[in-house]
Amino acid sequence: MVLDTAKGIEAQTLKLFNVCRSRNLPVLTFFNKFDRPGRDPLELLDEVEQQIGLRATPATWPVGQPGDFRGTIDRRTGLFTKYTRTARGAAEAPEEIIDAERAAAEEGDAWKVALDSCSLLDAIEANVDLPSFLAGKSTPVFVGSALTNFGVRALLDAVAELAPPPIPRFDLAENERALESPFSGFVFKIQANMDPNHRDRLAFARVCSGHFERGMDVECTRSGRAVGTKYVTTAFGNDRETIEEAFPGDIIGLVNAGDLRIGDTIYAGKKVEFPGVPRFAPEVFASARPLDRSKIKQFRKGIEQLDQEGVVQVLRDLDFGDTEPVLAAVGVLQFEVFAYRLSSEFSAPTEIISSPYQAMRITDKASADRLRQIGGIRILYRSDNEMVALFENKYRLQRLEKDEPELTLKLVFDGQPDS
């Protein structure tokens, strides 16, 4: 859970946390942008406990205030990691580790204030506790600046040290798929054009059970089709490496597995299907229009690909097709990413036009016939052929739900698994 030091807990943070809570996932917290002006860290700790309901247990603590960041204290060792600004994260920030005596001499009052805060944390026993963390009752807290890569190493080390090992996963019927069962995996991400030289498409899957071997026979539960496993890689940044085998907890990248979608289950042996990934109810809407009509083919290919990746939800009017689809997203930044990738990866410059819609609900044909008679409502379709209704006015939606409860107006996922 990454918190902006200046903004604290935001609406999208709460949504993501609720997904973690529903999946019983332990949470590590990172106070980000500490190199910029922001709020007092003790105040942020209190906000985490009050709004999230987790006991905040700092593993590292800042020396200096937001905007005057000197580095961090490791509360377990008492050592000081000195902060050195880099050129906007172009390289890993130097992390010089200094003993307490030298830190006191160099940092002066900032060091003393940090020690006083650590003493307060010791007094209230706000210490990292593994059983409490794994039980979802506390969250270890780390401090740093992701842009300059400072403090990130400590967070990643904590993931390796504290994160739980793979556990059996439950399928849609709530039956447990034991780790030693035949191979199964869950597709959680799809990314195209990671290598501009090859224009390929990677489907990332987490191994849930069994022993994966490159070239083995694997099927997709949703489609019933075979999945090619001849070209399988691990990917870290721009680096790729072919892998021969993988085990529960490992991430594999299936190259050019064009039939796979986010949320798919792949398996060998006994058939299995896991619950899908959580999806959030969209809050902002816009339409997309190609700036160059001669690029309509590239535009259509791009929106199909980015819809599959989950960059945005693409909604279509069957009467107009893909000429000007409506985009649905949680935040405006998704639209910016969508337009940038259409232009840079598919050579289809796109205009994003704000739409007046305020809410979206899943509906059915019978209800849609009634909704079409009411102004300010538009009926569209998602790529999975689910029918949705867009409302220009939330109050009209609320009135309809009250006056005509027989209408199908289902909340769109709202962070629940899409299955």
- Per CATH, domain 284-411 is 3.30.70.3280: yes
Q: Summarize pLDDT for 182-219 with one digit per residue, the tens.
A: 999 999 999 887 766 666 789 999 999 999 999 999 99
pLDDT score at 88: 56
Is the separation of the CB atoms in 1 and 28 below 8 Å? yes
Residue 114 clears pLDDT 60, i.e. is over it: yes
Residue 116 clears pLDDT 70, i.e. is over it: yes
CA-nearest of 72, 54, 30, 56 to 125 is 56
pLDDT score at 90: 53
Helix (H) or strand (E) holding 341: helix 332-346
Look at residue 1 and give its three-state secondary structure.
coil
Q: Of the segments 78-87, 193-202, 373-382, which one has the largest average pLDDT value?
A: 373-382
Beta strands in 131-217 (DSSP E): 138-143, 169-170, 176-177, 184-192, 201-209, 212-213
pLDDT score at 415: 46
pLDDT level of residue 250 (50, 70, 90 thresholds): very high
CATH class of domain segment(s) 2-162: alpha beta
Stretch(es) of the chain classified as CATH 3.30.70.3280: 284-411
Q: Summarize pLDDT for 21-41 with one digit per residue, the tens.
A: 877 889 999 999 998 999 999
Tell me which amino acid residue 372 is. R
> How confident is the model over 4-25, as a mean pLDDT?
86
Percent of residues, the chain, with pLDDT higher than 90? 76
Stretch(es) of the chain classified as CATH 2.40.30.10: 177-267
> How confident is the model over 101-115, as a mean pLDDT?
94
pLDDT level of residue 93 (50, 70, 90 thresholds): low
Instruction: Note the CATH number of domain 177-267.
Output: 2.40.30.10
Percent of residues, the chain, with pLDDT higher than 70? 95
Higher-pLDDT residue of 200 and 68 is 68
Question: How far is residue 163 from each of residues 74, 127, 142, 275, measured CA to CA in Å?
Answer: 19, 17, 15, 22
Question: Helix H segments across 124-246?
Answer: 130-134, 152-162
Separation between Cα atoms, residue 13 and residue 168, nearest integer Å? 27
Stretch(es) of the chain classified as CATH 3.40.50.300: 2-162
Q: Summarize pLDDT for 379-416 with one digit per residue, the tens.
A: 999 988 899 999 999 999 999 999 999 999 998 764 44
Q: Summarize pLDDT for 317-340 with one digit per residue, the tens.
A: 987 777 889 999 988 999 999 999
Q: What is the mean pLDDT of the chain?
A: 90
* Token pair of 380 as six digits: 């569209």
